[in-house]
Amino acid sequence: MQRFVVGSDHGGIDVKGAVIATLERRGAQVVDAGTNGPASVDYPDFAVKVAGMVSRGEADQGVLVCGTGIGMSMAANKFPGVRAALVTDEFMARMSREHNNANILVLGGRVVDVPTAEKLVTAWLDATFEGGRHQSRLDKITALERELGLVKQ
């Protein structure tokens, strides 16, 4: 069973709920990392929870939602081994998995509506990493993380 962690700030509450429902319908185990209300919160706090769990292997994949998705993706991609992809259409969702093996999907709650978010999550989940030349590119990213001291040699 796939283990997911999902988090949002106040700008992504509605989309986060739809994402969790979509994942659960597909049989995934889901951890809700918050937030759970409309009060203003800081998106980095939730990016840290989700990206940290994915980086440490406590979750297989994650989904983050903030108003635009930009801040969440910036914060999440600071974590070693995290490949967070901000997507706005189904093509980007598929490519983020097929070519980049994204392990965190990032959405903008003020950019995409709930039905679109459900389609994006489905496209992302249905895509499969192609490997091959794409793996060698990811290997370069991993090598860069090592060179920068973000992961152990």
Q: Convert the pLDDT of each residue in 9-34 to its tens digit.
A: 999 999 999 999 999 999 999 999 99
| pLDDT score at 1 | 83
Q: Are 31 and 53 in contact (CB under 8 A)?
A: yes
The reported pTM is: 0.96
Q: Percentage of the chain surpassing pLDDT 70?
A: 99
| pLDDT classification of 151: cutoffs 50, 70, 90 | confident
Q: What are the catalytic residues?
A: 66, 99
In the chain the domains, ranked by start, together with CATH numbers, are 3-147 (3.40.1400.10)
| pLDDT classification of 45: cutoffs 50, 70, 90 | very high
| pLDDT classification of 153: cutoffs 50, 70, 90 | low
| pLDDT classification of 150: cutoffs 50, 70, 90 | confident
Joined together, the tokens standing for residue 71 give: 């801040």
What's the rounded mean pLDDT across residues 47-75? 98
What's the rounded mean pLDDT across residues 86-94? 98
Q: Does residue 107 carry a pLDDT above 70?
A: yes
Region of residue 24 (phi > 0: left; psi between -120 and 50: alpha; otherwise: beta): alpha
Q: Percentage of the chain surpassing pLDDT 90?
A: 95
Positive or negative, the CA dihedral 56, 84, 47, 23 is negative
What's the rounded mean pLDDT across residues 94-111? 98
Give the side-chain half-sphere CA count within 13 A for 120: 29
